[in-house]
Structure 1
């Protein structure tokens, strides 16, 4: 039986963005997902059904559909990102309770996302969390190589001077916690709370019991409140 890593020495708190800092059931990512499908269909001149198949195949194999489209078809990242992030962010509501809990955590708070800084800024602004984060490491900073690629985490750690042994990583995809755990980070998987329908692939919801997942929560705000309330 595994012994999960704790939080007593943590001085750097690393958060994924989409489906992590806001609930899965908001389905904001569903809008991005739809835009990715449209871009794929238009660029490759294929049906919506074929585009969907390609989109999800590349997502699984390359970490993001964009990476697959770049590798297989020479898509320009700027064109892809500009199109797929043209979404309505209004479903996101301010979360002052989460903001207060994050503010009480000791040390730095960073975003590590496969999205763009522009998208991250809009999400954080809608959630009322922008002031609580020191920096955003996005897909451009990663030189277009997405999580879960090991080199992306290495770049992130070097750029921000992060010590994995005193860091915690919060993610909604278990596969994106494999490398952080190997590096020595405390890992937290954020899952749907089960009260509302979510639009996710089956594999995206797997991994709760994986050895590289130290903690699982379906209520990130409550989880952070309990952490920040520790003496």
Structure 2
């Protein structure tokens, strides 16, 4: 680390390391929801709504009770799916199909993002706690399907979600990547802890206008995000800056 101070990058990014640390990266790993599309696209709110409906149906609860129970399952088990599998023995395929039955029409093709990902040297992967059909539909709507070597989904992870260490180990084993020559992009800070421990460069994607919160936190005594190397609210712009540093 080069210190706690966060430096602005082209007015759109914040980081505390030199972007040249991405030199030598051969594997680029991207979370899906709220990472490859912006938080303001509000796609994940539909999934959240479907999850609450599923909990309501399975447990025969009213709307407010289902939402409270859903959050409790998420916090205790890492995902609502794992919580329901543990406590209710649900069929995971039924759950995944139900919660990803959403409208993708709000997503638009992002040729600038596609070009930036395509220009990165090496292989690119989607690593998601969602399922492959959802990832495929999302990537298709964004026009980025051809940019990725493969998709590692919750089924590939044997239904064990990030941030469990065993899930990252399985991803590495299946893809054959070297963590020391990899970078990971995520919208959840907790999901970058293990990648950082493994030696990956880590970048946190935050909603527009919220980067200042992280800047204030990093300026405090004691670093609450030691596992986050970079923060950006503009993934495409950040990737372009990385490409500039690599050239």
Match of 2:197 in 1: 182
- Which of 13, 25, 33 is residue 28 of structure 2 equivalent to? 13
- The Cα RMSD (Å) is 1.7
| Aligned pair partner of 1:72 in 84, 87, 96 | 87
Q: Does 1:42 align with 2:61?
A: no
* Alignment partner of 2:72 out of 50, 53, 57: 57
Q: Report the CA distance between 1:159 and its aligned residue.
A: 0.3
Say whether residues 1:97 and 2:129 are aligned partners.
no
Q: 1:151 Cα deviation (Å)? A: 0.3
Shift of 1:61: 2.1
Q: 2:39 aligns with which of 8, 12, 24?
A: 24
Match of 1:202 in 2: none
Larger radius of gyration: 2
Structure 1 residue ranges without an equivalent (≥5): 196-205
Indicate which of 129, 135, 139 corresponds to 1:114: 129
Cα offset for 1:68?
0.6
Distance in 2, Cα, partners of 1:148 & 1:137: 14
After superposition, the C-alpha distances for 1:85-131 in whole angstroms (9 at most, x for unaligned) are 00000110100001000011000000100000000000000000000
Which blocks of at least 5 consecutive residues in structure 2 are unaligned?
5-15, 211-216
- Map 1:136-151 onto structure 2 (within 5 A): 136-151=151-166
TM-score (norm 1): 0.92
- TM superposition shift of 1:20: 0.1
Deviations 1:31-77 (A, max 9, x none): 00000000000000011111101111111222211111111111110
Q: Which segment is superposed worse, 32-41 or 53-62?
A: 53-62
SS at match of 1:224: helix
Correspondence list, 1:75-224, <5 A: 75-194=90-209, 210-224=225-239
Distance in structure 1 (CA, Å) of the matches to 2:138 and 2:224: 29
Q: CA deviation at 1:209?
A: 5.1
